[in-house]
Structure 1
Amino acid sequence: MAIAHGGQKDHVRECAGLMADLITKAQIILLARTLHVQAECLAHLEKLGADQLHQLQERMAGIIFDRNNTLFERLSALVPIVPLRISLSAIWRSAPNWLPSPARSTPSVSPIPA
């Protein structure tokens, strides 16, 4: 059974819309993980679209990294000197509360600048 030409265009358009929605939802999840919040908290940002959400996530990740760069540099200097098993323990103790660790199941402080 063949699909009428007009029906096929509608089907393609519908599939493209579904893909765009999935990509946008994936970007929401990625941003939520970057910010250590539930994806539902950012659902209102879906209207921005996947491209703008991706740009926002990259900017936020950059801000978080820049704010903690000194800490990351100090901690990374430990690894070549101190065995990894020992340095990991020190890293988790001195890392910001929002940084995920085996000892912390949920972040206690948001990495979002005040």
Structure 2
Amino acid sequence: MSIIKNDRNLNGGGVVVAVRDNLISSPVTELQTDCEMVWCKLELVGYKAVYLTSFYNPKTSNEEGYKQFDISMSRATNMTNVKNAFIIAAGDFNLPGWDWKTNQQSPECQHPPQIYGHLR
């Protein structure tokens, strides 16, 4: 198993991507930003590359974490070798007030709307 991780450097925590040994994977450090996020590239024979990120936002209103996520995703979509690849973002975004059925912020949400802007 290949483990790619970004430790929180506190009392535990952080993010990790674990990849089976029979898959070719490598960390993609140039996409890292100042948030709890880790990137890896999966190379699948006969298919486009897959860039996989694991993200964790520890607070429900941590606007800076969302901004850093957005910066990282912008970097990924602007990199020449990533443009023709698949990008999968997973993790715990802590988005209270987000309506996943409509892909928009719920009207009763208490958080500023700008933290949800990059999800549209």
Q: TM-score range by the shorter chain?
A: under 0.3
TM-score (norm 1): 0.21
Structure 1 or 2: larger helix share? 1
- For the pair shown, the structure with the greater C-alpha radius of gyration is 1
Q: More strand by proportion, 1 or 2?
A: 2
Structure 2 length as normaliser, TM-score? 0.20
